[in-house]
Structure 1
Amino acid sequence: MWESAKIIAPTPNSTIVRPVVDNNFVINSTHLNMIRENKFDGYLPADPHDDIREFLAICDMFKYGETQSEAVKLLISPFSLCDEAKTWFNELDEESKTSWEQMRTVFINRFFPPSLFNHLLLEIIRIMDITAGGIFLYKTSNQAFQFLEDKVLFKLDWSTKSQNDHHQESVAFANGSNSNYDNSRLMEELEAPTIKIDS
């Protein structure tokens, strides 16, 4: 009696509304496997912008019909997520995403929200104020340009250890005695992809 009275909860529909494609539409299996091997987990200090760039770079390696490329990005985007990021995706409203741009926007807003961007910008401005010996934003355009030209030297440090090594950006000060931050400390501050924000 109790067995027959059990109510089974329905399986929720996907967040993604399946785009209209022709019957011959097939996603390349190699493409899908490459996406699965480069998953974004959503944990700090993972950078969602890096994930999007990697995702698009992989997608650009495979050619589909002009209208199908966007459909492919939308349909395979869930396979690029795991752990916390996949949990977030599964909690989105059912059938709420109809385009890759919608998916990209909600993804960035979740894992790199405007509040975080503003926080990082303030951190960079603070560093610039310390280095400039005053409020950097109060300087005129000419003063700011002169400061950057005289005090901060951006250079590329090309590694010769291996052809597979990527170049690294570094920052050096023309007069190190004028700064309380050494090169490595400044680069850590500038390159930090995420900073915890107190709620």
Structure 2
Amino acid sequence: MRTRSQSRNSNRQQQQVNPTFVEPLNLVEPIENQVPPVVTMDNTRTMAQLLEAPTVGYEDAIVVPEIIADNFELKHGLLTLVQNKQFFGHDKEDPHAHIRYFNKITSTMKFTNVLSTSVKLMLFPFSLEGATRIWLEKEPPRSILTWDDLVSKFINKFFPPSKTTNLRNEITRFQQRFDETFYEA
């Protein structure tokens, strides 16, 4: 029986008996033959300017038409009215009712030389919270040009056609049980 040290020694003896010579591969050229890379700077900005955060690409999805009125200002009270009834996008919330309520609020104010749709486009983001605000922020920049675009995208997102189909199917499959009145059903 052999011990571990004996077997190691015998392996070393075998290696010494049959030595193999392997020349190392020279994959890298000698340093004197290498040409240093040429670094060109097309940009003439300073390091401080290069490290500044970008300021482009932060545009809103909603494009509000230019307002040519001289002294146009949204009053704080109007913003408060809009923010008192915010839409969160929960299943039980009705986006159609939110649009109707929003239209009712914005129709109470009239501004000279300002389109009502411009006021609606400016105020609508203040009526959103939670998932709906995130949805609006994720819309591509400058993708909503009119009030109709906004309403269409909003309704399609939070009251999609599949929801309409499901509600229609529930109504058509309605059945009154034998032991209940129509009112109870």
Q: Same fold (TM over 0.5)?
A: yes
Q: Which moved more, 1:3-12 or 1:79-88?
A: 3-12
Q: 1: distance between equivalents of 2:101 and 2:157?
A: 18
Provide the residue aligned with 2:163 in structure 1: 116
The 1:44–1:86 alpha-carbon spacing in structure 2 relative to 1, beyond 3 Å, is same
- Structure possessing the higher radius of gyration over alpha carbons: 2
- Offset of 1:125 from its aligned partner? 0.6
- Offset of 1:181 from its aligned partner? 6.9
Q: Pick from 46, 52, 59 the counterpart of residue 106 of structure 2.
A: 59
Q: Does 1:100 align with 2:152?
A: no
Structure 2 unaligned blocks of 5 or more: 1-46
Residue pair 2:68, 2:113 contacting (<8 A) in 1 also: no
Provide the residue aligned with 1:8 in structure 2: 53
Q: Percent identity?
A: 28
Bigger strand fraction: 1
Q: Pick from 65, 68, 71 the counterpart of residue 22 of structure 1.
A: 68
In structure 2, give the amino acid aligned to 1:19.
Answer: P
Provide the residue aligned with 1:139 in structure 2: none
Q: CA offsets per residue over residues 31-72 of structure 1, 9 Å max, x none?
A: 121001111011221111111111111112212247511110
The 1:108–1:66 alpha-carbon spacing in structure 2 relative to 1, beyond 3 Å, is farther
> What value does the CA root-mean-square deviation take over the aligned residues?
2.6
- Offset of 1:5 from its aligned partner? 5.9
Q: CA offsets per residue over residues 98-130 of structure 1, 9 Å max, x none?
A: 111111110000000011101110111111xx2
Q: Aligned to 1:183, what secondary structure does the other structure show? A: coil
Q: Aligned to 2:58, what secondary structure does the other structure show? A: coil
For 1:1-199, list aligned pairs within 5 A: 6=51, 8-10=53-55, 12-24=58-70, 25-65=72-112, 68-127=115-174, 130-131=175-176, 183=183, 186=185
- Offset of 1:3 from its aligned partner? 7.8
The 1:183–1:98 alpha-carbon spacing in structure 2 relative to 1, beyond 3 Å, is same
Q: Which moved more, 1:50-59 or 1:87-96?
A: 50-59
- Offset of 1:27 from its aligned partner? 2.2
Q: 2: distance between equivalents of 1:3 and 1:43?
A: 46
The 1:120–1:20 alpha-carbon spacing in structure 2 relative to 1, beyond 3 Å, is same
Bigger helix fraction: 1
Q: CA offsets per residue over residues 144-169 of structure 1, 9 Å max, x none?
A: xxxxxxxxxxxxxxxxxxxxxxxxxx
In structure 1, give the amino acid aligned to 2:93.
Answer: A
Structure 1 unaligned blocks of 5 or more: 132-176, 187-199
In structure 2, give the amino acid aligned to 1:103.
Answer: L
The 1:32–1:126 alpha-carbon spacing in structure 2 relative to 1, beyond 3 Å, is same
TM-score by length of 1: 0.61
Q: Aligned to 1:51, what secondary structure does the other structure show? A: helix
Q: 2: distance between equivalents of 1:47 and 1:98?
A: 24
TM-score by length of 2: 0.65
- Offset of 1:90 from its aligned partner? 0.3
In structure 2, give the amino acid aligned to 1:183.
Answer: Y
In structure 2, give the amino acid aligned to 1:40.
Answer: F
Paired positions, count: 138
